[in-house]
Amino acid sequence: MNDSNVAQFFATKISELTFADFDADVIHWAKVGILDTTGVTLAGSSEPCAEILANVLMGSIGDSIVFGKPQTHSALDAAFINGTASHALDFDDCNNTMGGHPSVPILPALFALADEVKVSGKDFISAYVAGFEVETKIAMMVNFHHYTKGWHPTSTLGVFGAAAACAHLLKLTTEQTMVALALAASGASGIKANFGSMTKPMHIGRCAREGLLAAKLAKAGYTANTSDVFEHAQGFLEVYNGAGNYDIAKGLNAWAKPFDIVKPGIAIKQYPCCGSTHPAIDCAISLALEHAFDPRAIKHVDVWIHERRLQHTNRPTPKSELDAKFSVQYVVARALMESCVSLDHFSNGAYNDPQLVELMKKIDARPYGDKQFSSDNHFGGEVQVHFQDGSFISAKVQEPLGRTSDNPLPKDRLKKKFELCAMGVIPNDAVEQAYLMIDGLESLDDMRSLTKLFKRH
C-alpha cells in the first residue's frame, strides 16, 4: 500500500463512497448508531454542561435544531451544543478499534448540517459511515499508544470522522476533502486529565464543530497542508504519537475490510457511565440477581478490569456526579445494592448515599493478569464478593453485552433505551415517530422531517 499521502488516500475513498457500496449489515448498524446517538443526545440536552454552553452561545442565528430546546442556532453552534449533550451522560456508543465513542463526534455535525440543506436518509447514512471508517482507520494507525498516552481519542480522532462525514455530505471534491482533513488535524484536541468534569463532553462538542467548520472552510476555498499533514515531521502522527508509535499501512490496508461499523462494530451501552466499568457492572448485577444477600453482610469485594481501563476508573471516593461515572467502585457498589445502574444514580448527590459510601470502602479494584483473561482481551471483568461468614461468590465476563456486533444488544432493549432517553424531553408521539423514521431512514427524502421532531415546542 502506498502510504505517501494519508490525506489523499482518505479523501479519495470518501469521495468514491456511495450508498450502493453498503450491504444490509452496514445499513443496519448505521441505523443502530443513529438511533442510539439521537436518544442519548436528547437525554443529555438538559445536563448542566449542555445548558451552560447553550446559554453562553445564546443569540447565534441559524436554522439548525438544538436537541430538546425550542430555539435554533447556527449549524456550528448547534453541532457544538448537541455534540456536548450527546456525550454528557457517557451513555453513547463505543468502538473497540477507536478506543472511544465513534458516533458522537460525527452525528451532531451531520444533523446540524442537514438542517441547512436538503439531505436524504441515504446521503446521511453514507456520510456517517464514511466518517466512521476514517476515524477508526486512523485509530488503527495510532492505538493503543495514543489512548494510553492520555489523548481522548473520541475527540482527537473523532474530529477527522466529523470532517470526513461533513465533506461527504457537502459533496466536496477530493482536493477539498484533503483540505478538510488537514484543517481537522489542527483542530484535534482533548486530554484525559479532564475526565470526570464537564470538559470531557465538551471535547466532543468542540470536535463536532471543528469537523463541520473544516468542511465548510474547505468548500469556501481555505488552504491547508494537503501534502503531508499526517506524515510531516511536525504533523499529526509524529506530534500526537511520536516516532515508532504508529503504523500508517495498518490503517490504510484495512479500509472497508470490513467496514468498522460492522466489525467489530458499535458497542451499545446499557449503563450511563464510562464503558470501561461495564464488564464489572455486568458481573456485579449477575451476582445480585442470582444470589439473595444483604449488602451489609459483605466483608470485601475484589474487582478486576484491564489495566488500561483502570487508569481512569480507579476512583474510590468520587467527588461529583460526573466523577462517579468514572468510578468503578461506585458503579459496582450500586450494581450490588440495586441490581442495576441507572440515570438516577448520577444525579442529586446519589454518590453520597451513606450505605453506598460504606460499601465503596470495601471494594478493591486492580488490573487483571494473563491467567484471568487472554492478553489481547482488554474488555474482560471479574468480581468476587466475600462475606463476613467466610463464603464468597464470583462472576466473570469476557466482554459486556452489546460490546461488539457479535454480541449485540437485542433490538427490544435498544428501543427501550431510546424511549427512556427521549421520553420527557420531546412528546411521546414524537418519540415513536422518530423511532420509526430512523428504522426506515434509507427511504427518507429530507432529514429535516426527522430533525424537527427533536425540537421542544
Same domain, 283 and 255: no
Task: Kindly report the pTM of this predicted structure.
Answer: 0.89
Same domain, 30 and 111: yes
CA distance 134 to 127: 11
Same domain, 138 and 260: yes
Same domain, 314 and 262: no
Q: How far apart are the first and last CA of the chain?
A: 53
Same domain, 220 and 127: yes
Same domain, 191 and 313: no
Helix ranges (H only) for 143-198 are: 145-149, 153-156, 158-169, 174-187
Same domain, 73 and 219: yes
CATH number reported for the structural domain that contains residue 426 in this entry: 1.10.4100.10
Same domain, 188 and 142: yes
User: Which pLDDT score, from 0 to 100, does residue 2 have?
Assistant: 43
Same domain, 343 and 304: yes
With respect to residue 236, please indicate whether it lies within any of the assigned structural domains.
yes
Same domain, 250 and 299: no
User: Which pLDDT score, from 0 to 100, does residue 160 have?
Assistant: 98
User: Which pLDDT score, from 0 to 100, does residue 127 have?
Assistant: 98
Domain boundary among 351, 376, 397: 397
Positive or negative, the Cα torsion across 312, 98, 168, 181? positive
Query: Using an 8 Å Cβ cutoff, are 408 and 436 in contact?
Result: no
CATH number reported for the structural domain that contains residue 323 in this entry: 3.30.1330.120
With respect to residue 163, please indicate whether it lies within any of the assigned structural domains.
yes
Helix ranges (H only) for 344-424 are: 354-360, 411-422
CA distances from 340 to 200, 219, 281, 329, 337 (A): 25, 48, 8, 14, 8
Helix (H) or strand (E) holding 228: none
Same domain, 116 and 181: yes
3-state secondary structure of 95: strand
Same domain, 161 and 26: yes
User: Which pLDDT score, from 0 to 100, does residue 1 have?
Assistant: 39
With respect to residue 402, please indicate whether it lies within any of the assigned structural domains.
no
Which residue, among 215, 11, 39, 31, has the nearest Cα to 122 in the 3D structure? 31
With respect to residue 403, please indicate whether it lies within any of the assigned structural domains.
no
Residues of the chain with pLDDT under 70: 1-4
**What long-range pairs does 311-318 form, CB within 8 A, spacing at least 24?**
311/148, 312/192, 312/195, 312/274, 312/276, 313/274, 313/276, 313/277, 313/365, 314/365, 315/196, 316/360, 316/361, 316/363, 316/365, 317/360, 318/196, 318/351
With respect to residue 359, please indicate whether it lies within any of the assigned structural domains.
yes
Range of the domain at 133: 6-269+409-454
Domain count, the chain: 2
